[in-house]
Structure 1
């Protein structure tokens, strides 16, 4: 009863028992997505094992690009649902990302779901896949684009779309955490550091804090815990005409990325928001810029926001704004 067209995106791995396994995206008769599990002794002759997970019309429709693995004592299913509807700030409209964490029923070969979340809370991230490294890490890379922006490119650009940074995955307290792959640290040069910089109803810049290929760590705290600032904003890829902004409102615990002034000439999605876990006393961001993209790792990788920006490379300024009094620590590296 399933679609013959939407039977696709196989992900194959070798199991601990020596067999090969494969998950495949499928679309049953109800039009909703499901993930099928197959087994093979030789990698060529495959036998159906089970329907590993069923959408049941909860998260969009067709589940694309599935991936399934064991990590930190849990089983993790990654997939990219099409035609999603938002659920608060957890899932956004259109082509989204989904992570289901649970336990494997070893008898029925089905995933017993425990937790569900978005993989990326930004604008451009889809069809992520993972691999295991020889030293045991689980590394994920995604497509920094999606089907709704597939036709958009700058007229004079020599490239179209890009992949995300490779990210190391872990599971903590029922959530998927992502951190930039540790090999990126070898590209860090020219460290610049500021501590306990107070911004009070003002916009400031800091000497040598600029650039479009950078790795920047930022910690934001209220200058007075009894009188928490109302808004903090980081602007990057900035000059007199262009900028992209990260804005945090501690009373809502909402972080927003906004690229409407980044140079885009089309009616694309320009803003996305996510609900940040934790309190207003400290927000940790790691912002990695790579010429035409920004990847923002929130609170040690508990959430990530990714976005492509079509801003001229001459716009390399960075500024900080606070409504109220905020105190920040900044560590910035050039990536070379």
Structure 2
């Protein structure tokens, strides 16, 4: 394929050609960090899934390795090798992934001794029809997250729960199909598998990694969580589970989650749920549920524990069912910066991985300015930069920053004091991005503190915003003129704001 690289970021992981989506199997193995990802190498559209593969020494500078998994087996033939996880066992790297067909999703395993070349076992390994439960939909049973606790392996996967009537409808549908006719998505869409069902997560366990048994559904306890989360019209995709700073966290990407106030404005969402997992029943006892990122382009986050104990998270920096401006450039798919995770004062904190500071150059610092109007600072510009801003809104009605600015192009990041909202507005950034949501170009988030500390990372077509030390984040893609759209301008409307400090760094990652 002839690839146009004009929108490719310089310090974010991205596919070199074709399509990519969910990150899979973040792991440290054989002295390297590995990130696998959903990939269709033949075209910049979703297709039969492969597992792409990135390798890095520091989670910043990535090298694209050969494709790790190719859908070359009969059980993978319709949809491919879909999302999953990685785990080291007996000195080998194991990948558990979903082999997907239109009417059936099963879990499979491949392994490698060198971390590059993988062999598949006698798959499929886990079939919902063999787990002695009608809870799990065999059609929607995917994205396994595998981990070991004490001497037992556990797997959390997304599904849609079924009543016994739903399950029988599914069995009847499959048994009545013509063996010589391939089942299509239209065939499946016309069925009534989920008349009484809803999205959920399920827990499985194994003593030997090969023989798995069903434990139970996770989301059964409705205390502290609204009913919408227990009647989800979709699947909780790409789950993750870990403990950080003494707090158990469950992460997932629920499909079609209804908007609640200013939360969950995207078609599909990403949430974290603090709580406690009962490994004997599968029940997860939640404390609350919250959105991970309040921007436009963030999905399917996956986490790993680094060699020094830090937990980091990387997500797909896109969203489903949107228009993708790089499709005509023959590539789609970027990933967020790795984010260090902590849990403080009852809240998930996300900050950019500290290794990124090794790539800073050309520091510019400015301090102590009172602004009423517009201001540009010498040396504070660029679209491959880190920008730190500490500002306080005093009498202004709105105050903030215009990024990626040139001519009619600009991205607004500001605080609306009257409405007490923090706003990310990309509606004037260049190419408009369409989608199934009501609005795909403005995101608003309630915010009461007039003193706002921001760390913003601009990378050609990417913007990640970390607010108040990582208490909130907003992420979005920007498609303007990557050569000219480098301006940075501060503004204050109908009054004053104080700019306590500004720091700008170029981020330079050599190819």
Q: Which residue of 1 aligns with 2:142?
A: 8
Report if the CA contact (8 A) 2:295-2:474 is conserved. Answer: yes
Whether contact under 8 Å (1:297, 1:305) holds in the other structure is yes
User: 1:121 Cα deviation (Å)?
Assistant: 0.2
- 1:107 and 1:54 map into 2 onto residues whose CA distance is 14
Report if the CA contact (8 A) 2:396-2:497 is conserved. yes
- Please state if 1:203 is matched with 2:374: yes
Contact 1:35-1:54 at 8 Å conserved across structures: no
Structure 1 residue 33 corresponds to structure 2 residue 199: yes
Structure-2 separation of matches of 1:154 and 1:51: 39
Greater shift, 181-190 or 241-250, is seen at 241-250
CA shift at 1:263, angstroms?
1.2
Contact 1:256 1:273 in 2 (8 A): yes
8 Å Cα contact 1:72-1:170 kept in structure 2: yes
Q: Is 1:218 matched with 2:218?
A: no
**In the alignment, which residue of structure 1 is the partner of 2:77?**
none
Specify the alignment match of 1:294 in structure 2: 463
Which residue in 2 is equivalent to 1:229? 396
5+ residue gaps in structure 2?
A: 1-133, 163-195
Q: Which residue of 2 aligns with 1:259?
A: 426
Q: CA deviation at 1:93?
A: 4.3
Give, in whole Å, the separation in 2 of the partners of 1:236 and 1:166.
Answer: 22
Aligned 8 A contact 2:159 2:236 in 1: yes
Return 5+ residue gaps in structure 1 as ranges: none
- The answer on 1:182 being equivalent to 2:316 is no
Which structure has more strand as a fraction of its residues?
1
Residues 25 and 34 of structure 1 are in contact (CA less than 8 Å); yes or no, is this contact kept in structure 2?
A: yes
Q: Deviations over 1:57-99 (max 9, x none)?
A: 5234321111111111111111111112111112224211111
Structure 1 window deviating more from structure 2 (100-109 vs 76-85): it is: 100-109
Structure (1 or 2) with the greater helix fraction: 2
User: Deviation of residue 55 (structure 1)?
Assistant: 8.8
1:66-81 alignment runs, 5 A limit: 66-81=239-254
| Aligned CA distance change for structure 1 residues 170 and 301 (closer, same or farther; 3 Å) | same
Question: Displacement, 1:158?
Answer: 4.6
Report the Cα distance in structure 1 between the residues aligned to 2:432 and 2:387, rounded to whole angstroms: 28
1:58 maps to 228
1:157 aligns with 2:329: yes
Greater relative CO (CA pairs within 8 A, separation 6+): 1
Write the distance in 2 (CA, Å) between the matches of 1:243 and 1:93: 22
Distance, in Å, in 2 between the alignment partners of 1:54 and 1:127 is: 22
Q: CA deviation at 1:253?
A: 2.7
TM value normalised by structure 1: 0.92
Residue pair 1:33, 1:55 contacting (<8 A) in 2 also: no
TM-score, with length taken from structure 2: 0.61
Deviations for 1:248-300, whole angstroms, at most 9, x for unmatched residues?
11343311111111112453411111113x522x1111100111110000110
User: Is the contact made by 1:32 and 1:55 (CA closer than 8 Å) also made in structure 2?
Assistant: no
8 Å contact kept, 1:214–1:289: yes
Deviation at 1:134, TM superposition (A): 1.4
Q: Flag the 1:155–1:51 CA change in 2: closer, same or farther, 3 A.
A: closer
Tell me if 1:18 matches 2:151.
yes
CA contact (8 A) 2:220 2:284 kept: no
Q: Measure, in 2, the Cα distance between the counterparts of 1:265 and 1:271.
A: 11
How big is the alpha-carbon RMSD for the aligned residues of Structure 1 and Structure 2?
A: 1.8
Q: Deviations over 1:5-61 (max 9, x none)?
A: 11000011222x032211100101333211111112222221222212249752343
How many residue pairs match? The answer is 327
Whole-angstrom distance in 2 between the partners of 1:332 and 1:134: 30
Match of 2:476, SS? strand
Kindly name which structure, 1 or 2, has the bigger radius of gyration based on alpha carbons: 2
